[in-house]
Amino acid sequence: MLTTRDGVRPLGVADLQDFLELAGRDPVVNVFADYRARTTSLEPRWLGGEVWGRFEGGHLRAACHVGANLVPVQADEDDARAFAERALARGRTVSTIVGPHAAVRAFWDAVSPAWGTPREVRWQQPHLEIATDPLVTPDALVRRTTREDLDQLYPACVAMYTEEVGLSPELGGGSDLYRARVTQLVSRGWSFARFDEGRLVFKAEVACASPHAAQVQGVWVPPDRRGEGLAAAGMAAVVDLVRRDIAPVVSLYVNEWNHAARRAYERVGFVETARFSTIMF
């Protein structure tokens, strides 16, 4: 029988402080889960899912965010298998599994016979961080976007998402929801872009943030403008703006095969601190 002393159970509002302390053991890698906990207080109606905790001797030793994204938090392989056992009992409800490679690998090995063939698996994604001034000169034309930019920004976000994920976010009538998400990021001051003569030529967004770190997503340059250094200079500007106004550390994770992006991030001063894996359905 699982109890709060030993085993896995859903966390709630009363567990918030313990969860934040757990995520704080690696606050940059765990920024997504940290952000979700702070914005929902682990209240299920706001989470749109659950956060599971694994306890040992009454102490929270690992956790797992289970919403649209399933994300292990400070989970070793044994913890991941324990979360997988609970996940198998309820069936797959998530569209993505993402997080540190070892935990994702162990979780997937346990659930894969029942969860079927994923649409795509990316096993080795460098997780990068920067906590200093960028090493290249920031692009002075990169700025926060406004609602007046949406006619340029929204199609660029759709193009980036489609190129990155392999599916359009507008499939199945999802355009209104995706547009609302883009607009929300703009309203928060988490969307950045450069425009040349009214045309968007670089963009990036902050996906989530905590007092410790901010995770960047959606970095994109139009195909016909790639190779000009826009990504490196643009990301240098984003690093400056984010570190000044949002969080002291900027992080992201990138596909292993995207050598152009990895070179740009290295030029800016990002360093690899972990490896992530992503499994998409």
Q: Rounded to 5 degrees, what are φ and ψ at 125? A: -110, 110
Position 155 scores a pLDDT of 97
Position 1 scores a pLDDT of 36
Return all residues near 164 (Cβ < 8 A) that are at least 6 apart. none
Q: Where in the sequence of the chain do the CATH 3.40.630.30 domains occur? A: 143-274
Q: List the structure tokens of 56.
A: 């040992």
The helix (run of H) or strand (run of E) holding residue 140 is none
Q: In whole angstroms, give the CA distance from residue 147 to residue 99.
A: 32
CATH placement of domain 7-116: 3.40.630
Q: In whole angstroms, give the CA distance from residue 3 to residue 18.
A: 16
Return all residues near 198 (Cβ < 8 A) that are at least 6 apart. 152
Position 4 scores a pLDDT of 62
**What are the tens digits of pLDDT across the range 5-55?**
789 999 999 999 999 999 999 999 999 999 999 999 999 889 999 999 999
Q: In whole angstroms, give the CA distance from residue 121 to residue 235.
A: 26
Position 42 scores a pLDDT of 97
- The CATH architecture of the domain made up of 143-274 is 3-Layer(aba) Sandwich (3.40)
Position 263 scores a pLDDT of 97
pLDDT along the chain (281 residues), means of 10: 74 97 98 98 92 97 97 98 96 96 98 95 98 98 98 97 92 91 98 97 98 98 97 98 98 96 98 98 94
Q: What does the DSSP 8-state code read for residue 148?
A: G
